[in-house]
Amino acid sequence: MPHSPEENIAHMTEHDHFSRWMGIEILEVGKGSCSIRMKVKKDMLNGFGILHGGVSFAMADSALAFASNSHGRLSVALSNSITYPNPSKEGDELTAVAKEISLGFKTASYDINITNQEGKEVALFRGTVYRTSKPVIPDNTPQ
Amino acid sequence: MPHSPEENIAHMTEHDHFSRWMGIEILEVGKGSCSIRMKVKKDMLNGFGILHGGVSFAMADSALAFASNSHGRLSVALSNSITYPNPSKEGDELTAVAKEISLGFKTASYDINITNQEGKEVALFRGTVYRTSKPVIPDNTPQ
Amino acid sequence: MPHSPEENIAHMTEHDHFSRWMGIEILEVGKGSCSIRMKVKKDMLNGFGILHGGVSFAMADSALAFASNSHGRLSVALSNSITYPNPSKEGDELTAVAKEISLGFKTASYDINITNQEGKEVALFRGTVYRTSKPVIPDNTPQ
Amino acid sequence: MPHSPEENIAHMTEHDHFSRWMGIEILEVGKGSCSIRMKVKKDMLNGFGILHGGVSFAMADSALAFASNSHGRLSVALSNSITYPNPSKEGDELTAVAKEISLGFKTASYDINITNQEGKEVALFRGTVYRTSKPVIPDNTPQ
């Protein structure tokens, strides 16, 4: 029996140390989509006192992993691009929403938009994954 | 008197909380270039037990910031792309080398390659920055 | 008096030799958006008998130029990324729709989606432009 | 017997209508690399009188196809990014050099740099391909 998107993502997050460090909270998951939340803390700031671009990327990348693996097939990022329309500061409450924009047999693409508590966009991310033939949750039954 | 690349980067790292959390060590800086080092720790792993793509991105992004701001003009990332030829695991010693591939008046581009202790490439990053007219180190003298 | 989006784009297309070669037809223009059409001809095919990725890129790039210059300020592409969910063949009628996803003072970003006559997506393009302070249509009056 | 890089690329260019329209000349091919040349003609210019960004992209994309298919396995572009350090004008002689930056079993990445007759960089392109298990040249013998 195939696993649900919720089961697949629960399996992934169980050992996801960095998402835990970031304090990522999962609001909603579906087939090919998800919505997650995170609060910007001091340890995430760069030398200019704003959110380090790598942390907003990491948040988007986690959303990409959850959305693409929700189908149950282990999927790995092939390439990504990100732009930062507005900066983010300590205490901001960020929400990342992942949407599937194409789903092929071997690859799939996703848009992840991150907004702050005022609805202002802080990152626009687009990622393409390679869909392996392995399951997200290894079963005891032969594949 | 213009500041040296070393002074500009020292000013940036002084308050760079996230680079400090990652344990980034600066090996070398020059006009438009830098070389930095980091050890992969448990808190940086994703749900598959390998380095979270967001952390390698963050390391590359820090190298981009150091290399582009070394000229003394405050520079901000406009867009980036990254690919991951090989995974990285806990305990790996990663080195990121940033090289300037074009330098215009308003924008500049950089390649950042991250390799592990065996010289294997774990991330290939390319970034474009917008070069503002503000100095990296605010002076007391009028601009 | 500021020029309308239609006037700005008419000025651009007047001398746009390559868009003319591609046979690009402008369906609609607005502030920050446009919709254009093109038919795939034999000269546009690659060695595998499908539309050359460079031509779908060029179509998206033209849509980016029209949408970003519609505001009246001369804008130039800084960086772009494209993915190809499905191939396109000779005789296909392609439509490219450009949508503004962020508009800052110095830079702006756009999504351009190209679909075929069956509504199938053949290219997903994202572009960032640098907005100069020069007008698209040079006036006789001093700036 | 495996085909040589030259044979694989000859097979591809035989029916490559768009590369022929661009007037692309192949200077050199190797395993994972190539060097091609093209002259900028009037039909390639955009509305600002400079080379249309889509044409320099197409040239780089052709170089990507030649370099990635040189190994003999049919390879298709998954994602690309391009930046334009300097404009190009009618009559310019452009050279694109493709270099393999990573080669995995399922995917590979390439850097393609385009320079003009003065050695000035006009485009920096990076592309990732998916390597299918089909041969570039279909043989009569079973695979």
Mutate which of A64, A74, A75, A78 to disrupt the D interface (most D C-beta within 10 Å)?
A78
What chain C residue is nearest to D14 in terms of C-alpha separation?
C47
d(CA C40, CA C31): 28
- Min Cα separation D93/chain C (Å): 18
- Min Cα separation B120/chain A (Å): 17
DSSP H stretches of helix in chain B: 5-14, 17-22, 53-69
Q: Residue C51's closest CA among C17, C22, C18, C19?
A: C22
Give the DSSP per-residue string, A111-143: EEEEE-TTS-EEEEEEEEEEEEEEESS--SS--
Out of B101, B109, B124, closest to residue D109 by CB = B124
Q: Residue B81's closest CA among D106, D111, A30, D141?
A: D111
Q: Give every CB contact of residue B140 below 8 A, 6+ residues apart in sequence.
A: none
d(CA D114, CA B102): 13
pLDDT score of D79: 79
Residue numbers in C near D38 (CB within 8 A): none
Mutate which of C84, C99, C105, C126 to disrupt the A interface (most A C-beta within 10 Å)?
C126
* Token pair recorded at residue C90: 């000779």
Give the DSSP per-residue string, D106-142: SEEEEEEEEE-TTS-EEEEEEEEEEEEEEESS--SS-
Using the Cβ of C121 and the Cβ atoms of chain A, whether some distance falls under 8 Å is answered with yes
pLDDT score of B140: 52
Q: What is the mean pLDDT of residues B109-120?
A: 96
Token look-up 């059409």 returns C37
Mutate which of A64, A74, A76, A79 to disrupt the D interface (most D C-beta within 10 Å)?
A79
d(CA C38, CA C45): 14
Asked whether the beta carbons of A10 and A70 are under 8 A apart, the reply is no
Using the Cβ of B140 and the Cβ atoms of chain D, whether some distance falls under 8 Å is answered with no
Whether the predicted pLDDT of C9 surpasses 60: yes
Is A92 in a helix, a strand, or coil?
A: coil
Angle at D63 between CA C60 and CA C124, to 5 degrees: 25
- Min Cα separation B117/chain C (Å): 31
Question: What is the band of D15 on the pLDDT scale with cuts at 50, 70, 90?
Answer: confident
Residue numbers in A near C109 (CB within 8 A): 83, 85, 124
Q: How does the average pLDDT of chain D come out, rounded? A: 91
DSSP H stretches of helix in B43-138: 53-69
The set of chains that have 3 or more CB pairs under 8 A with C is A, B, D
- Min Cα separation A102/chain C (Å): 6
d(CA B56, CA B46): 12
**pLDDT over 90, % of chain D:** 67
pLDDT score of C125: 94
d(CA C75, CA B140): 35
Out of A101, A102, A121, closest to residue C102 by CB = A121
Instruction: Find the largest Cα–Cα distance for chain C.
Output: 52
Residue numbers in C near B79 (CB within 8 A): 78-79, 128
Q: Residue B59's closest CA among B92, B37, B80?
A: B37
Lowest mean pLDDT: which of A19-23, A27-31, A111-115, D138-142?
A: D138-142
Contact residues, B window 36-95, toward A, CB-based 8 Å cutoff: 42-49, 52-55, 57-62, 65, 76-84
β-pairing verdict for C107-115 and A121-135:
unpaired
The H or E element that residue B37 is part of is strand B33-39
ipTM of the complex: 0.85
Out of C46, C62, C79, closest to residue D54 by CB = C62
Question: What is the band of D141 on the pLDDT scale with cuts at 50, 70, 90?
Answer: very low
Residue numbers in A near C81 (CB within 8 A): 81, 126
Query: pLDDT tens digit string along C69-125?
Result: 999 999 988 778 888 888 999 999 999 999 999 998 888 999 999 999 999 999 999
Residue numbers in C near D45 (CB within 8 A): 15-18
Q: What is the mean pLDDT of residues B100-110?
A: 91
Residue numbers in A near D106 (CB within 8 A): 130
Whether the predicted pLDDT of A142 surpasses 50: no
pTM of the model: 0.82
pLDDT score of A3: 87
Question: Which class in CATH covers the domain with range A5-135?
Answer: alpha beta
Residue numbers in D near C14 (CB within 8 A): 47
Q: Residue C53's closest CA among A127, D6, D45, D78?
A: D78
Query: pLDDT tens digit string along B41-78?
Result: 999 999 889 999 999 999 999 999 999 999 999 998 87
d(CA A46, CA B17): 6
Instruction: Find the largest Cα–Cα distance for chain A.
Output: 53
Asked whether the beta carbons of A33 and A27 are under 8 A apart, the reply is no
d(CA D7, CA B41): 48
Q: Give every CB contact of residue B59 below 8 A, 6+ residues apart in sequence.
A: A54, B22, B24, B36, B38, B94, B96, B114, B123
Using the Cβ of B104 and the Cβ atoms of chain D, whether some distance falls under 8 Å is answered with yes
- Min Cα separation D54/chain C (Å): 4
The answer to whether the CB atoms of D106 and A79 lie below 8 A apart is: no
Asked whether the beta carbons of C36 and C95 are under 8 A apart, the reply is yes
Whether the predicted pLDDT of A140 surpasses 80: no
Q: What is the mean pLDDT of residues C28-33?
A: 95
Q: Residue D84's closest CA among B68, C12, C111, B107?
A: B107
Mutate which of C38, C61, C129 to disrupt the D interface (most D C-beta within 10 Å)?
C61
d(CA C128, CA B48): 33
DSSP H stretches of helix in C15-115: 17-22, 53-69
Residue numbers in C near B108 (CB within 8 A): none
- Min Cα separation C19/chain A (Å): 27
Query: pLDDT tens digit string along A36-65?
Result: 999 999 999 998 899 999 999 999 999 999
What chain C residue is nearest to A121 in terms of C-alpha separation?
C102
Using the Cβ of D132 and the Cβ atoms of chain C, whether some distance falls under 8 Å is answered with no
**Residue D24 burial (CB count, 10 A):** 21
pLDDT score of D69: 94
Question: What is the band of A143 on the pLDDT scale with cuts at 50, 70, 90?
Answer: very low
